[in-house]
């Protein structure tokens, strides 16, 4: 059972500021790729099985723990100890395919987002790793008293700002340093700002 946004964010970002901002939706193909290092803090207890052709409507990434099929949303633990959290990378740094966990499908695989029957891309390669916190949920039945908007019915998002590129489908340990509250089409969409636990600057990064 996924935790609610309120309880998970209290643990992940106690005392941090929340900011409100409207988010435009844009679709465009990938652009140039900068050279980046590869993250090394992947949690190896989980593996990914790819099904369907890449860059297609049928492509899916399913998760396994040993021989067991698992849901990356419901079964990977949120807490990693010592104030750290686990997150699943959906969109690695320097890529543009808009991937997401399919919360309405069995075993909640990762797939590419679709709009009007077409695969979605950011207009540029993003400069950070992007993903989600397992066992979290932004409740559409709860309206935030300050922001006046309800949750978007998805897991809580993560913007991981470390120097290294993560791997799509990788499970990583991160240190939360802040939180951003965004309003997207009238829905509240929280972004936890985090840094990989093994990033060389992680110990120096404590706030935003």
Q: Where are the domains of the chain?
A: 3-34+42-201
To the nearest 10°, the Cα dihedral for 177, 46, 109, 30? 60
CATH superfamily membership of 3-34+42-201: Inorganic pyrophosphatase (3.90.80.10)
* Residue 63 neighbours by CB under 8 Å, 6+ apart: 46, 47, 48, 49, 69, 70, 71, 72, 76, 107, 109, 169
Query: pTM score > 0.75 for this model?
Result: yes
* Residue 197 neighbours by CB under 8 Å, 6+ apart: 41, 80, 84, 172, 173, 174, 175
Task: Read off the pLDDT of residues 33-53 as tens digits, 9 standing for 90 and up.
Answer: 444 455 556 788 999 999 999
Task: Read off the pLDDT of residues 113-162 as tens digits, 9 standing for 90 and up.
Answer: 999 999 999 999 999 999 999 999 999 999 999 999 999 999 999 999 99
Task: Give the distance, in angstroms, between the CA of residue 187 and the centroid of all CA atoms in the same chain.
Answer: 17
Please, which residues bridge with residue 51 across strands?
A: 60
């Amino acid at each position: 059972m996924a935790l609610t946004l309120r309880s998970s964010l209290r643990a992940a970002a106690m005392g941090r500021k929340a900011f409100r901002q409207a988010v435009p939706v844009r679709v465009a193909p990938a652009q140039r790729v900068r050279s980046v290092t590869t993250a090394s803090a992947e949690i190896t207890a989980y593996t990914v099985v790819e099904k369907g052709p890449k860059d297609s409507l049928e492509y899916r990434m399913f998760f396994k723990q040993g021989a067991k099929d698992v849901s990356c949303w419901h079964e990977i633990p949120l807490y990693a100890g010592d104030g750290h959290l686990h997150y699943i990378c959906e969109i690695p740094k320097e890529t543009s395919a808009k991937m997401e966990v399919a919360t309405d499908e069995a075993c909640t695989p990762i797939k590419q987002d679709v709009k009007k029957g077409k695969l979605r891309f950011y207009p540029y390669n993003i400069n950070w790793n992007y993903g989600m916190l397992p066992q979290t949920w932004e409740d559409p039945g709860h309206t935030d008293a300050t922001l006046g908007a309800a949750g978007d019915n998805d897991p809580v998002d993560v913007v991981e700002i470390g120097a290294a590129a993560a791997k799509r489908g990788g499970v990583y340990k991160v240190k939360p340093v802040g939180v951003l509250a965004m309003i997207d089409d009238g829905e509240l969409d929280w972004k936890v700002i985090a840094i990989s636990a093994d990033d060389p600057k992680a110990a120096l990064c404590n706030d935003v």
